[in-house]
Structure 1
């Protein structure tokens, strides 16, 4: 159940007219009162013998009376409007149940505490099965102001209790960092225009993708315009750009003017100051980074995210999650058509898991951000899908660790978002990885070679060996080991390197995880036979050399303190 508080100025006349009208798309059905401050307020929907407009006037006049009586002493903000919506899967509630819910919401928000006869005047209007609208005026009947400190949080807390009491879908408590939801009006408009998403959601996705792809503020604004949005910078008296707003071409209001959305109204982290901070933190590296395959660099950086989440401080962890969200935002551009839709859903869902009250340190995520930007600029760098499958495999583990990190910090909404993102990522990963693994398996080595690899596996990781050998991906793993051997690598050595990169305990498929690791390691330059022989001699000498005898000296003590 979602209560959403909106405040305004002036009379309740326009609000009452809207609530009892047909709606913007004739969506209002049987509008009528289900509750009011005195339980007998005029009801335009249940007065068949009277002109509905006259009853509406009587209703808003009574609602406005405490404000009118104050005259010049009336507050500037006079109207309190709170739609309360149930989830689509919730049972249809009766008028009496909605009336009780309305009383609980206005009491929790400080509008009309239980038993307070001098509280604010309010009405609850129902014009659909799944929601009501509560309209109130922000002056008590005794002339005082209502005490509604933190009414938004109070209404949300009461909604969580109502969900339990009425057996409704239980929403996750938030921390105030969620992006603003599209309004009902925006949803109806998108439906009329045949769009799957509202303008707000489309703009948010495009702006977030531009933030992930940009290396500078100038490039950010260039990317916004390149995606077809209309951009309006906000400048101060000095001419400095202080913010920005965006609009979709053709999305206009009744006056045929563009409907603008500022970055901060799309999401808190999309305001220009926040974007500038991220771009500054992710600026050029102070040292020269050795060039390499951006897919391998992105995968290696993603594989380090679980370590940051379990061993780093919270600010670094939050920065890693923001970078992971940016990578997911850009990845659909590189994906084949079969998996693009699922990756879009994964990115949109995981977006909620990239923000919390913890300030993000973006500096530790520079490699991931820069490598994914390189991939985005040259998406044709991988042809068979193996590089994308490799990266998605690492992302699945990273998102799973993100879910556990949010659970540890009691970020309920973010934890749920990460869990939903995993489902979409698994589907996309299967669509991309299965053809790649099948293609690799066609080049599986002989049975004798596979037995040799299996023997080493049983010695190196006995706890996972049987599961790996029985996995469908075993032939693909053997194929990449044989390919690495053919390019000069030692199969046992490269397998040990892959095993030492990261534990297999949390891998969904150890065979697949090893396949991607060995394929990445195998594409590196193989050591020469002379270098391999020298390394073997060094290891043998180090193992055979006796440990030097140590002489225990006196224990170190702090110097004596002289007493005067």
Structure 2
């Protein structure tokens, strides 16, 4: 159940609100508007007065609601109308008018609009014009002339909605922490349909701004990328002339005067204000940490592979920063991916966006390599090749997102945990599509039986606890191929295998052979060490054949 509070101002605010609630609606969706409850239980009902002009009854109802406001004259508050739509989920049972009336009374009570038993409280009505929701409208002056005590009413109403869900057996939503992006209003949805847009302007702008932040190396490039995607930017300047904020608009989205409708960055999402955007961009420019030349897929994969360690061993601010960087990487992946994968990756990025924000301030200092390597992939499509790079990155991203889910769960971030869980489903689907053909091709080139037997012996020595699973894994032939390719490139296969095993535990890997395949593919494409280095590595490996590896919580979902 989703309640949302909207405040109205102006001399005709109450009349406009009542006119909308009893009108036909912007999309003719108001089929049977009528009162289900009111402050005195006998307020005039424009929807149930068949022998009178409905407009006359609307005016009478608005006048009665406004009476305490008019008594204050010039001392009336700036905002005089409190409007709260309350919507049930599509799968919820249809509630009766009596049930909606009870819900309305509970909502106005906890919001401070009309506390239970308070005869001098604000005047209010609850209007139902659809099966799945009601609108509560109240005037913000009590009948004794005082203002209602409605501090933190949005938070109180949300808490009550969670309890209403329990009491009425409705779909139970996750409690929030005030860091979620603002949802489009019904008005914005209807407008998007009229404009032929697939999504509301607010959602389109949020996606484009997030992608521009993820892709840009500096502020100038950020604004250039927005312009290239058709977003109009209007800066807000302070007295000094410095830009303090920015607003965004889409072409064609205008008001009734033909002017562009601008959205402040902070209203698109809490982390899209200009100061927050500048803070994010500071992790890519200037460059105190240089990214080594090489395959950016490998660099992005290595950086993503370190995220679970940060989530389990670093402080909360660093861990939160890693989630921000992972979200930025997921924002850009759909642009670089094959057409068949775009939908799943876009869904993964859209839902994981909620998991990138919490009340914990993000420290972004440790995220530079991941951000720059993903930007390099986005800027240079020649790195895409056979899909192996994307498969490798998605393989470690699955683990990172699973750890993000666990991290949020332990901190009771319910909405963020749910978002990470949803993202995991979409990433699993995308990974299966891209990894399958690559692994099949590798398996087709599997080395001879003698070579595979040699590799198997080394596996049994190095990880006896996982050797049987690996050798019986469908991806074993692909693993043998990348070991043989690393050997042909001048690497010692035993050393490369030990390095891959030492990167992270296999305890939480659904397919240990597949996880090792991607690790060894990365290691094998590095420059092979010289004879002396190989001898030193071999000596170290023989002295520490089964060196213990760090253990992590078992949260892998693949």
- What's the TM-score once normalised by structure 1's chain length? 0.94
Q: Is the 8 A contact 1:8 1:77 kept in 2?
A: yes
Distance 1:46 1:510, change over 3 A: same
- The counterpart of 2:31, out of the listed 25, 29, 32, is 29
Counterparts of 1:542 and 1:61, CA distance in 2: 85
Q: Which residue of 1 aligns with 2:85?
A: 83
Checking the alignment, whether the CA contact within 8 Å between 1:282 and 1:362 is kept in structure 2 is: no
Aligned to 1:8: 8
Report how far residue 284 of structure 1 moved.
Answer: 3.1
After superposition, the CA RMSD in angstroms is 1.6
Task: Name the structure 2 match of 1:370.
Answer: 372
State the number of aligned residues. 543
Equivalent positions of 1:58-97 (< 5 A) are 58-97=60-99
Aligned-pair distance for 1:541? 9.4
Q: Indicate the residue corresponding to 2:190 in structure 1.
A: 188
2:511 aligned with 1:498: no
Which of these residues, 109, 115, 131, is aligned with residue 107 of structure 1? 109
Residue aligning to 2:316: 314
* 3-state secondary structure, aligned to 1:268: coil
Deviations 1:78-102 (A, max 9, x none): 1100000111111111111000000
CA distance in 2, matches of 1:41, 1:260: 39
Cα distance 1:443–1:140, how it changes in 2: closer, same or farther (>3 A)? same
* 1:332-354 Cα distance to aligned partner (Å, 9 max, x none): 11100110110011001000000
Greater displacement, 57-66 / 488-497: 488-497
Deviation, 1:286, is 2.5
Decide whether the 8 Å contact of 2:348 with 2:426 is kept in 1: yes
SS of match in other structure, 1:234: strand
Residue 247 of structure 1, CA deviation: 1.0
2:420 aligned with 1:418:
yes
Work out the CA distance in 1 between the residues paired with 2:400 and 2:205: 27
SS of aligned partner of 1:12: helix
Distance between the aligned counterparts of 2:414 and 2:339, measured in 1? Answer: 33
Moved more, 222-231 or 461-470: 461-470
Please say which of residues 473-482 and 156-165 is displaced more in the overlay.
Answer: 473-482
For residues 363 and 257 of structure 1, what CA distance do their matches in structure 2 show?
41
Of 332, 335, 338, which residue of structure 2 is paired with 1:333? 335
Which of the numbers 504, 510, 513 marks the counterpart of 2:515? 513
Determine if the alignment matches structure 1 residue 385 to structure 2 residue 387: yes
Question: 4, 28, 46: which is aligned to 1:44?
Answer: 46
- Structure exhibiting the larger radius of gyration computed from Cα positions: 1
Unaligned runs of 5+ in 2: 546-558
Instruction: Give the match's secondary structure for 1:258.
Output: coil
1:257: Cα distance to partner? 1.6
Q: Could you list the per-position Cα deviations for residues 360-395 of structure 1 after superposition, in whole angstroms to 9, with x for gaps in the alignment? A: 111111110111111111122121000110001010
State whether structure 2 residue 146 is matched by structure 1 residue 133: no
Distance 1:538 1:400 in 2: 33
**Compared CA separation, residues 17 and 446, structure 1 to 2 (3 A):** same
- CA deviations 1:104-142 (Å, max 9, x no partner) are 000000000111111100000011111100000011111
- Residue 536 of structure 1 deviates from its aligned partner by 4.4
Residues 534 and 201 of structure 1: CA distance in aligned 2, closer, same or farther (over 3 Å) = closer
Q: CA deviation at 1:236?
A: 2.4
2:93 is paired with a residue whose SS is coil
Alignment partner of 2:135: what SS?
strand
Specify the SS of the correspondent of 2:126.
Answer: strand
Residue 334 of structure 1 contacts residue 380 of structure 1 at CA under 8 Å; is this kept in 2? no
For residue 159 of structure 1, what is the aligned residue in structure 2?
Answer: 161
* Residue 207 (structure 2) aligned to one of 205, 208, 212: 205
The 5-angstrom pairing of residues 295-306 of structure 1 reads 295-306=297-308
Matches within 5 A, 1:207-356: 207-356=209-358
Cα displacement (A) at 1:288: 4.4
CA distance in 2, matches of 1:369, 1:379: 16
1:407 aligns with 2:409: yes
Compared with structure 1, are the counterparts of its residues 536 and 429 closer, same or farther at alpha carbon in structure 2 (3 Å cutoff)? Answer: closer
| DSSP 3-state at the match of 2:141 | strand
Residue 232 and residue 196 in structure 1: after superposition, are their counterparts in 2 closer, same or farther (change >3 A)? same
CA apart distance, 1:229: 1.1
SS of equivalent residue, structure 2 residue 230: coil
- Structure 2 SS opposite 1:292: coil
Answer whether contact 1:124 1:132 (CA < 8 A) is retained.
yes
Q: Distance in 1 between matches of 2:540 and 2:35?
A: 87
* Deviation digits for residues 382-431 of structure 1 (CA, Å, limit 9, x no counterpart): 21000110001010100110111111111110000000000000011111
Contact preservation (8 Å) 2:69, 2:76? yes
Which residue does the alignment assign to 1:429? 431
SS state at 2:282 partner: helix
TM-score (normalised: structure 2): 0.95
Rounded to whole Å, the distance in 1 between the matches of 2:533 and 2:81 is: 79
Gaps of 5+ in 1: 544-564
Using the alignment, how far apart are the partners of 2:145 and 2:90 within structure 1? 40
Structure-2 change in CA distance of 1:317 and 1:130 (3 Å): same
**Against the structure 1 CA distance between its residues 426 and 534, is the aligned structure 2 distance closer, same or farther, given a 3 Å change threshold?**
closer
**How many Å apart are 1:281 and its aligned residue?**
4.2
Aligned partners of 1:183, 1:451: CA distance in 2, in Å? 63
Distance in 2 (alpha carbons) for counterparts of 1:434 and 1:485: 24
SS in 2 for 1:127: strand
> 1:346, 1:540 → 2: CA distance?
43
